[in-house]
Structure 1
Amino acid sequence: MKWKRSERLVDMTHYLLEHPQKLIPLTFFSELYQSAKSSISEDLTIVKDTFEERGIGVLVTVPGAAGGVKYIPKVSEKVVKEVIDELISELGHSDRLLPGGYLFMTDLLGNPELMNRVGKVFASAFCSQEIDVIMTVATKGISIAHAIARHLNVPVVVVRRDNKVTEGSTVSINYVSGSSRRIETMVLSKRSMKSGQRVLVTDDFMKVGGTMNGMKNLIEEFDCTLAGMAVLVEAAHTDERLVDNYYSLVKLKEVNEKDRTIKLEEGNYFSKGGYDR
């Protein structure tokens, strides 16, 4: 079967979007579409220009016999601001206010379209780094972790508060919760990670950073490296942060439970270099 160019472009675009961060040899496309490498290169140039113009991402070409092309998801500054503004607008409703200064976010975390965009925003911040695993704590950070992992094309590991028989042999640590100052436990299956992997941790909400710090300590138990931290919403806190190398999209600046008012602002995503200006 001889593919028409329009058919090649559609199918090639779909394949690249479904396999982010994967180096694909030109011979793969050449054999698949029964076309010369020169024609494939021309097609990829069209896709590359369209991706960059539309803010979908970038195509990186690696020369040589072992080279190929790789799609790297990366959003524009405009798109990041749109996502942040939407989050601030949605989270600013007074009926989201919960006791203790927390916000109800379950509906947003369960919104696949929004989480996909959030995942791509965070993936853009780490697209130039080597990331092997995304880690989060059960349960609310799971949707964010999978969204980021989708765009970085890496697996997700979920830390639990208690041991499950289905996890097999586990590693557990005790850590101090930043907000309540209580001793908490984290458990992770020994099969979840391999020594030497670079791990990106994420969560939906952070006060002082006790949970993030606990995951950092757990990573060290596996002889792995912390590659970065990504949090959807951070709370402005007068106490000293237990972590400082993190990216946030939204900051919960002030909560007045009596008046039921919520003050939100842009997080530190841009100030931490999440978008390369």
Structure 2
Amino acid sequence: MATMSNKMKRNQRIVYISQYFVTHPNELIGLSYFSDYFNSAKSSISEDIDFVRGIFEETEIGVIETIAGVQGGMIFRPAYSDVKTNELMDEIRQRLTEGKRILPGNYVYLADLLQDPRLLDNIAKLIAVKYQKEEIDAVVTIETKGIGLCVAVAKYLNVPHVVVRRSSSEMDGSTISVNYVSGSHQRVSKMELSKVSLKAGSKVLIIDDFLRNGGTMIGLMNLIEEFDCKTVGICVFVESTYRDHEPIPNYDSLLKVEIVYNKEESRFELQSELGTFFE
């Protein structure tokens, strides 16, 4: 590991330590990493980290946990304040009222929201904060619109992201597949995943952008079971209040949307409310 050639002052060390923790969420970091990097005594680094810990907690940036033992160290758990949560959800709900969002089949156009890097990062962080104590081993989604959110959540949880395909290629090698019923026309489709994508016994968080009929989500749960893995959480960005399917257990949605007809203006509109994520 590279070390600093010049001795750094305490305020310089604190800036680096703060930045390192923020960019390495949910990662076990040994005290020796910082002491070796700065060529400083561990006692001095411990004082620096205690200072950073206090600032992080006071400003609701997150918590730095200490893990005891030979293999111990520190883990930064991000936080997301109630104030920031309210601001984020208000902004998203406002943007849902803008532009043409209602698509054929009662789907909702969300791509512009999840393509906004600032919004995407904040949505992912909000989701990750809720699930970061669940000891998740992988974040799973199905191609294609939920991939960006899946990757961003996985980054904050410091675990791999896994993308289920609707059709495999030679690059995937041997796969496991399941059939599922999707869409308003109840069409039977297939999803598949490379056999090496998930280790048996893994705890999985499923992420997707939109939940309507629920058939795709049930298919993902069934596929995860085929890998002898456990779904410990399901979270979608937006769910439609119009659904007709067997219940999906223990899922969260950030927003619920409903398509309603405005008689005065003779057009359909999108109404939204906070989802089960906040219950």
When the two structures are superposed, what TM-score results if normalisation uses the length of structure 2? 0.92
How far apart are the structure 1 equivalents of 2:178 and 2:70?
46
Alignment map for 1:18-97 (pairs within 5 Å): 18-97=23-102
Letter in 2 for 1:41: S
How far apart are the structure 2 equivalents of 1:203 and 1:180?
20
Percent identity among equivalent residues?
44
How far apart are the structure 2 equivalents of 1:78 and 1:217?
37
State whether structure 2 residue 16 is matched by structure 1 residue 11: yes
Corresponding residue for 2:234? 229
Match of 2:274 among 243, 251, 266: 266
Q: The residue matched to 1:260 in structure 2 has which SS?
A: strand
Letter in 1 for 2:191: M
Instruction: Evaluate the alpha carbon distance shift between residue 241 and residue 80 of structure 1 in structure 2; reply closer, same or farther with a 3 A threshold.
Output: farther
Please state how far the C-alpha of 1:39 moved relative to its aligned partner.
1.4
Q: Is the 8 A contact 1:210 1:242 kept in 2?
A: no
Please state how far the C-alpha of 1:100 moved relative to its aligned partner.
2.3
Letter in 2 for 1:264: S
Corresponding residue for 1:146? 151
For structure 1, the 5+ residue unaligned runs are 272-277
Please state how far the C-alpha of 1:78 moved relative to its aligned partner.
2.0
Letter in 1 for 2:269: T
Match of 2:120 among 90, 108, 115: 115
Greater relative contact order (CA < 8 Å, ≥ 6 in sequence)? 1
Q: The residue matched to 2:33 in structure 1 has which SS?
A: helix
Corresponding residue for 2:175? 170
Corresponding residue for 1:193? 198
Corresponding residue for 1:210? 215
Corresponding residue for 2:3? none
Match of 1:156 among 146, 156, 161: 161
Please state how far the C-alpha of 1:261 moved relative to its aligned partner.
1.3
Instruction: Evaluate the alpha carbon distance shift between residue 180 and residue 49 of structure 1 in structure 2; reply closer, same or farther with a 3 A threshold.
Output: farther
Runs of 4+ in 1 over 4 A off after TM superposition: none
Please state how far the C-alpha of 1:65 moved relative to its aligned partner.
3.6
RMSD: 1.6
User: How many residues are aligned here?
Assistant: 271
Deviations 1:120-169 (A, max 9, x none): 00001101111110100100000110110110011111111112121111
Please state how far the C-alpha of 1:221 moved relative to its aligned partner.
0.5
Corresponding residue for 2:249? 244
Q: The residue matched to 1:95 in structure 2 has which SS?
A: coil
Please state how far the C-alpha of 1:94 moved relative to its aligned partner.
4.9
When the two structures are superposed, what TM-score results if normalisation uses the length of structure 1? 0.93
Q: Is the 8 A contact 2:214 2:243 kept in 1?
A: no
How far apart are the structure 1 equivalents of 2:38 and 2:250?
45
Q: Is the 8 A contact 2:212 2:243 kept in 1?
A: no
